[in-house]
Amino acid sequence: MGKNELSEFKGRVMKAKGYTVDNENPDAVKYEVAKEQGVPLKEGYNGHLTSEQAGKVGGPIGGNMVKEMVRMAQEQMKRK
């Protein structure tokens, strides 16, 4: 899976979770998650963020993506 495909997958997963996703830039959903979590994420360099803050943004996104991948794998196994 390439970077563009991964971004599109991220967008589909997060849209299904109720987030507003820009189809042209699905990666931008991280700003909505950051706002929801109270994390001051901005475009560009974010070296001022703590590991905890970064995890509050990346955790929900990555966690939802992993859950969807597991669901997809389970569906494939049922078909075999």
Residue range(s) defining the domain that contains residue 32? 3-79
Largest CA distance in the chain: 48
- Tell me which residue has tokens 């560009």: 44
Q: What is the pLDDT of residue 24?
A: 92
Q: What is the pLDDT of residue 2?
A: 85
Q: In the chain, which stretches have pLDDT less than 70? A: none
Q: What is the pLDDT of residue 63?
A: 97
Q: What is the pLDDT of residue 68?
A: 97
Helices (H) and strands (E) counted in the chain, each on its own, are: 3, 0
Q: How many domains does the chain have?
A: 1
Q: What is the pLDDT of residue 69?
A: 97
The answer to whether 29 and 10 have CB atoms below 8 angstroms apart is yes
Q: What is the pLDDT of residue 3?
A: 85
